[in-house]
Amino acid sequence: MSFVEYSDLIQNGDVAIVYLGHDSMMPVKVQQGAQTQTRYGVIRHSSDLIGQRYGSKVTCNKGGWVYVLHPTPELWTVTLPHRTQILYTTDIATITMMLELKPGSVVCESGTGSGSLSHAILRSIAPSGHLHTVEFHQQRAEKAAEEFKEHRVDRLVTVRNQDVCKDGFGVTGVADAVFLDIPSPWEAVGHAKAAMKRQGGRVSSFSPCIEQVQRTCEALADQGFEEISTLEVLLRVHDVRTLYLPMPDFGPDPSAQTWPDAAEIKPPASVVLKTTTLPRETQGHTGYLTFATKPRT
């Protein structure tokens, strides 16, 4: 099992995602002889998980059942233990696209946080790329490094515990892209530029407040970055519903009286159709995404 490579069978030591429902999932470290308690009963790792295919339906001892899924960055985002506020898939998808990430890309990231974006970056740049991620908090940095090793992607990532605003990313002239998720990203713009390749690249910053965005954009312009733009991604999911609309009876159609059986034709009592309705609640503001390009030097 690896977060960037697919495996068919569940093995001892894997991290699997137990699916109880659309809004109820949890990660499980598969271990010989271990058990996992769910509301549907106990899952015994030795007999119920190890050797089974990912995607299998597992029956618990109380008669209920769950699915066991292969881990992906998207599933990890909704099940990971929160050490910080995290980025979710809506923003992550935009970031990976706008930074033009691809297999072989070298990326610098700060801060690592809970590793939500890090896992998505690693899948995008595998198998030959590399992620240099910087985390100011020592315990969070150590925990992130431990998770990367457990998820078998540690060969693709280097974790550094340092202040990116003072000490930079620890590399110079190697990055195709840089991502900043820190309280004062404008203080790290110079280090981001130094970490990027001479032939240029893309930089992105995530900030919840517009005042942070303003200062970051000013710093990017001062450092010679081009194509500076800021956007906000808001997700609105429409509910698909079946409606039954009654049809009014307007009486016989005079123009249709030429047909012998026209008088016997009756309009349908109702019409069945599919439609969408707006959600009652819409997720509000999460943060602003600022993007810029470093020109070739």
d(CA 211, CA 186): 11
CA nearest to 15, candidates 54, 56, 71:
71
Does the annotation list 114 as a binding residue?
A: yes
Does the annotation list 181 as a binding residue?
A: yes
Strand partners, 244: 272
What is the total residue count of the chain? 297
Does the annotation list 104 as a binding residue?
A: no
Q: List alpha helices for 189-272, DSSP H.
A: 189-195, 210-222
Q: Is the dihedral of CA 234, 148, 131, 54 positive or negative?
A: negative
Pairing verdict, β 239-246 and 270-277: antiparallel
Residue partners of 164: CB distance under 8 A and separation at least 6: 110, 111, 134, 136, 180, 182, 188, 191
Residue 135 three-state SS: strand
Does the annotation list 115 as a binding residue?
A: yes
Contacts made by residues 237-240, CB under 8 angstroms, sequence distance 24+: 237/279, 238/276, 238/277, 238/278, 238/279, 239/276, 239/277, 239/278, 239/279, 240/274, 240/275, 240/276
CA 273 to chain centre: 34
Does the annotation list 135 as a binding residue?
A: yes
d(CA 109, CA 115): 10
Q: State the binding site.
A: 114-117, 135, 163, 181
Q: State the binding site for S-adenosyl-L-methionine.
A: 114-117, 135, 163, 181
